[in-house]
Structure 1
Amino acid sequence: MTSSHPQVPTLSMADFDGQKGAFSDALGQAWRETGFVGVRDHGVDDAIIDRAYEVFREFFALPAEVKQRYQLPGKGGARGYTGFGVEQAKDHDVPDLKEFWHVGRELADADNPAPEILLPNVWPEEVPGFKEAALALYQALDGLGSRVLSALALDIGLPADWFADKTDFGNSILRPIHYPPIEQAVPGAVRAARHEDINLITLLIGSREQGLEILTRDGDWVPVSTLPGTIVVNVGDMLQRLTNRVYPSTTHRVVNPPGDAARRARYSIPFFLHPNPDFLIRTLPQCVEREGEDHFPGPITSHEYLLERLREIKLI
């Protein structure tokens, strides 16, 4: 095991054999302490990642009027394009300095259990190969996320396959993000203001540019640099709620870098792994026992919870 920062350990997926052991123990410890962990030897091919970055950069370089054609009114950014300065972090006064695209689960109509929620994808016709590249990365990260959740289940005393039928139709999202060069400072505006993720876990293919920081349990902001070949995985609010804060969701942000770095574009690709829309987020009994009380006594479906949070960040 190596480390990209003393606060954020890096684990090898090659050490996980599907059984409770050193890997699941280390994963659980890292998430209890920081909410973040890096994974290497993860099986996501570099060629898939590189091709995805290529088509995403090509899309974001299109004229604004072309990109706006793919912003779907009334959908809360669930699929397609969300323009610059639209998303605004909870309790923050100004929007983030970013634009992004959402790719959801690709399902045939006959296989879709919730067509009003699991919406069809849209694809930019101006970028050849966009669909193929995006879906290849989506599927690779979805598979990796399932393996990580299996290790998590073992750490908390659940069967290894406990999450399998609870995430197989999850409203998971691949979100390529473009943070344009900062030519002129906007008071109070940063690339991504402090926030916690909504979902179960997030798998982040990091930027080659600096900026990501996490808030430690001691209240210090710590920069996180992604090592080559490493995917950062963090706890989201749904998992925090399900586990009664045994695995806390860590606050993080993307700050504006100093000097010339601010005038360079930044790209990153998080994959937000969600449960199935009808999954009832109800505190796990063993987590209530461990914490001594139930911090979240009112169960809620994952879709209802998602809608609550989307309202808070001004997407709906």
Structure 2
Amino acid sequence: MTATADITPIPLTLADRDAAAAFGDAFERTGFAVVTDHGVDGALVARVQAAAAAFFALPEATKRRYLVGQGGARGYTPFGIETAKDADRPDLKEFWHTGRDLPAGHPAAVAMPPNVWPAEIADFEPAVRTLFSALDGAGARVLRAIALHLGLAANYFVEPVRDGNGVLRLLHYPPLAPGVAGERAAAHEDINVITLLFGAEEAGLQLRDRAGQWRDIAVPDGALVCNIGDMLQRLTNHRLPSTTHRVINPAPERAGRARYSMPFFLHFAPDFVIRTLPGCIDKARPDRYPEAISADAYLQQRLREIGLLGDG
């Protein structure tokens, strides 16, 4: 039997310094935190779950009308496309991406295309837009705690993520046929700054601890799972680890059930330069990344690695 990871739920309502200590400890130990009192309305989450389930139940031909050819950045990505870095087969999932809305003429529009919306599901657009905004706000509060933990000004991350290339992903893992090859989501690390996830109450999400053992992540109903992404790991010189995680296939008696989840991938603005924080470099921890890179260049590099962008 797989052990459960030691992650104590953390209320996001804690005072600044208390939150910084709680999140800092959790992230430095495991790269993950379970967040309660996050301020995101449970009824809104249920609305989005219902809209997502309705969309994924549409005929394949209808869903493919929203396959817009932007490296998966917006709209629909069909089953069997995304492949974890270094995995030998694609994940057993399909998904929808919604990003940040930008005003006309915004300089970041070249890296952040406009959203598309399924006309077949009336509540899809209003519900998803509202959840995107709510998770963006919750993410900003987590980043405030992280900044204080790192000894930075509380508002350090405000400008870097103000026009960030964040994405809300609606994930559908269909029921599994007997003997199917592959995993719902093979072992991987997230590309972005931090990830906020609803839907992990359904069993399957695991992290790999520092001893290399896989551990289940136990999540109270309605809580958010938050984890560090590769961009923040790079910025902090691995002081905050981007922990490997996966979604395993269910036990045979539950293989006929679909699984839905909603990760929000919070990103830096495309032109933000990821340069190692000086306070995360010392003799014991030399700089792993002496060459800086823009957030957009890093993202494009990683999207190619997971099969969402071609080489051309």
| Contact 2:201-2:221 within 8 A present in 1 as well | no
| TM-fit CA distance, 1:108 | 2.2
Match of 2:301 in 1: 308
Q: Which of these residues, 135, 139, 142, is aligned with residue 129 of structure 2?
A: 135
Structure 1 position 90 matched with structure 2 position 100: no
| TM-fit CA distance, 1:51 | 0.5
Structure 1 position 214 matched with structure 2 position 217: no
| TM-fit CA distance, 1:184 | 3.3
Correspondence list, 1:84-233, <5 A: 84-110=79-105, 112-187=106-181, 189-233=182-226
Q: Secondary structure at the match of 2:307?
A: coil
| TM-fit CA distance, 1:35 | 0.2
Cα distance between partner residues in 2 of 1:256 and 1:185: 11
TM-score by length of 1: 0.95
Q: Compute the RMSD of aligned alpha carbons.
A: 1.3
Q: Secondary structure at the match of 1:270?
A: strand
Bigger shift: residues 174-183 or 255-264: 255-264
Structure 1 counterpart of 2:89, which letter?
A: V
| TM-fit CA distance, 1:143 | 0.2
Match of 2:11 in 1: 12
Structure 1 position 276 matched with structure 2 position 275: no
| TM-fit CA distance, 1:298 | 1.1
Structure 2 counterpart of 1:234, which letter?
A: N
Structure 2 counterpart of 1:267, which letter?
A: Y
Match of 1:287 in 2: 280
- After superposition, the Cα gap between the structure-2 partners of 1:69 and 1:24, relative to the gap in structure 1 and judged at 3 Å, is same
| Contact 2:74-2:115 within 8 A present in 1 as well | yes
Q: Secondary structure at the match of 2:28?
A: helix
| Contact 2:205-2:248 within 8 A present in 1 as well | yes
State the percentage of identical aligned residues: 50
Cα distance between partner residues in 2 of 1:308 and 1:27: 29
TM-score by length of 2: 0.96
Q: Secondary structure at the match of 1:222?
A: strand
| TM-fit CA distance, 1:291 | 4.6
| Contact 2:21-2:149 within 8 A present in 1 as well | yes
Unpaired runs of 5+ in structure 2?
none
| Contact 1:203-1:232 within 8 A present in 2 as well | yes
Structure 2 counterpart of 1:315, which letter?
A: L
Q: Which runs of 4+ in 1 moved over 4 A?
A: none
- After superposition, the Cα gap between the structure-2 partners of 1:95 and 1:70, relative to the gap in structure 1 and judged at 3 Å, is same
Match of 2:18 in 1: 22
Match of 2:45 in 1: 49
Cα distance between partner residues in 2 of 1:147 and 1:185: 43
